[in-house]
Amino acid sequence: MKIAFIASEAVPFVKTGGLADVAGVLPKALEKLGCEVKVYIPKYSIIDESQFNLLYRQDIGEIKIKVADKIRIIKLYQGKLPNSNVTVIFIDCPWYFHRESVYTNDPDEDERFILFCRGAIEAMRMEKWSPDIIHCNDWQTGLIPLYIKDNFRKDPIFVRTKTLLSIHNIGYQGRFPRESLDKADLNQTYYFSEGPVEINDSFSFLKTGIWFADIITTVSETYAREILTSEYGKGLENALILRRDSLYGILNGVDYNYWDPAIDNYLPFHYSGKDLSGKLKDKEYLLNHFNLKFDVNVPLIGIISRLVDQKGFDIFSDALPELIKLNAQWVIIGNGEPRYENIFRSLTLKYPDKVASFIGFSIELSHLVEAGSDIFLMPSHYEPCGLTQIYSLKYGTVPIVRKTGGLADTVQDWDELQYQGFDTGNGFSFNDYSGYALFSSVKRAIDTFPHKDTWNKIRQNGMIKDFSWDKSARKYVSLYENLISKQN
Ligand code: ADP
Ligand code: GLC
């Protein structure tokens, strides 16, 4: 089975969030199950090429693509996902991808990803590589299902090709003016109120994908149910309800070759569930790094996050005056909206003995905080899957989460389950999206922390859970197989 996996970011080449983690690993898990997989990503100038051996595909040479009535030239480069045979095709177009960041607010953001969609399709045509499935991810790839059903309908390369769209976050819909249809060489007849591509007087790449993909998936079972409601569907719930027979929730997995405290290259000290002594040393190392005092008896609460509304920083701010009075230390790694960045900057200045922060993106620190913290906080308003809490379970760092999306599917509340006579809880969770509910959960965790046997049980419950990709990758393969077996 041939799978083209198209995404706007993938580790180890370029990452702004969890999509990159998924796109860098799921294709390898699919390969292990016997699929032939090629990954397609843009060749951004921020990719550090010196680290990777990328080969220019001279045999293919320059490809001309028309976007917004202008001819753009693309070239293909080729690499591999580490420790695998998965080919990665980089779509090179300096005009669009040599920018300061992966995503921009530039007026031609639509053109950048129109070119990417067209570029990936052209790459397959030029290589005469006919995929059984094109697996698209998020709005940046949302036009591909329509291109395959319309513009390339008669192309022999794609006659048997089916498309699948994975929604990693419905909050990002790729909305542009209707003129973008012309830029994309798509027919204006698709655009009408509440039709296949329109939402609130704009043309949405994500809605287009939802409408035209043969199958839609999202990254947890709970989120698959939530996005059918007006509370979580962000205006796309009706389009999804129309397609609900083709909508599936498949929980993301984790790459334990990379996210495992027993072998993690970024950690000064390794550890496992059997011997947690290295974890305490990592905590000491982390606190030293940030000039905070080390005290075994004071819990350290870690946050690693994009600092955006989705992640619950408004209720966090509401709870702050009470949170800061608790006997705990805090370390935050994040970047995003200036107002949230400033909250953490000023907290750090105001409480230098209690709070440390790094406002920016640091993969090394993200691993260190997973390991060195006692508690991991993720109070998201919504969370399609969430990977950081799954990493924290493996690192023996007890998560506190709001019960939504993938957080609800991966974290089991200790108190609630214990009350029911089970002792399988692996974290703390709350329902109400409020500062008070958040505060109460943090308080419960901090009050439990001194009870070492209980704390250890919660921690071990998390560490033994297995979220490796194998099971979820099998679910994708069976969806692919179902699709292929269907008549056209
Ligand atoms: P999302 O994709 O919504 O940002 P996830 O929890 O799925 O949330 O994935 C976030 C990924 O990005 C994780 O691998 C996390 O470690 C990483 N990450 C988030 N913020 C930072 C940061 N400031 N520095 C380094 N890594 C970060
Ligand atoms: C998105 C979501 C996150 C998910 C990630 C990978 O960015 O916000 O919940 O884990 O994609 O699927």
On whether the CB atoms of residues 387 and 376 are closer than 8 A, the answer is no
CA of 35 to the centre of ligand 2 (A): 24
Number of other residues whose CB lies within 10 A of the CB of residue 69: 8
Query: What fold, for 2-253+470-485?
Result: Rossmann fold (3.40.50)
Q: In this predicted model, what pLDDT tens digit does every residue of 4-43 receive, in sequence order?
A: 999 999 999 999 999 999 999 999 999 999 999 999 999 9
**Nearest CA residue ID for atom 9, ligand 1:** 18
Ligand 1 pocket, mutate which of 357, 363, 387, 472 (most atoms under 8 A from CB): 387
Q: Identify the pLDDT of residue 293.
A: 98
Sorted by where each begins, the domain ranges of the chain are 2-253+470-485, 277-466
On whether the CB atoms of residues 480 and 33 are closer than 8 A, the answer is no
CA distance 27 to 3: 9
Ligand 1 pocket, mutate which of 14, 19, 21 (most atoms under 8 A from CB): 21
- CA torsion, points 143, 149, 152, 156, in degrees to nearest 10? 140
Question: Residue 302 belongs to what H/E stretch?
Answer: strand 300-307
> Is it true that 2-253+470-485 and 277-466 share their CATH fold?
yes
CA of 217 to the centre of ligand 2 (A): 13
Residue 488 predicted with pLDDT over 70? no
CA of 335 to the centre of ligand 1 (A): 10
CA distance 479 to 470: 15
On whether the CB atoms of residues 263 and 197 are closer than 8 A, the answer is no
CA of 252 to the centre of ligand 2 (A): 9
Per cent of the chain over pLDDT 70 is 100
Overall average pLDDT of the 30-57 stretch: 97
Report the alpha-carbon angle 255-282-18, nearest 5: 30
Q: Which CATH architecture has domain 277-466?
A: 3-Layer(aba) Sandwich (3.40)
Overall average pLDDT of the 316-332 stretch: 98
> How far is Cα of residue 104 from the mean position of the Cα atoms in its chain?
18
334 lines ligand 1 (CB under 6 A): yes
CA of 161 to the centre of ligand 1 (A): 33
Residue 487 predicted with pLDDT over 70? no
Number of other residues whose CB lies within 10 A of the CB of residue 128: 8
Amino acid (one-letter) located at 90: F
On whether the CB atoms of residues 299 and 329 are closer than 8 A, the answer is yes
> 67: which residues sit within 8 A by CB, 6+ positions away?
111, 114, 115, 118, 183, 184
Amino acid (one-letter) located at 449: F
Nearest to 290 by CA among 374, 351, 378, 335: 351
| Predicted TM-score (pTM) of this structure | 0.97
On whether the CB atoms of residues 442 and 365 are closer than 8 A, the answer is no
On whether the CB atoms of residues 225 and 218 are closer than 8 A, the answer is no
Overall average pLDDT of the 376-391 stretch: 98
Per cent of the chain over pLDDT 90 is 98
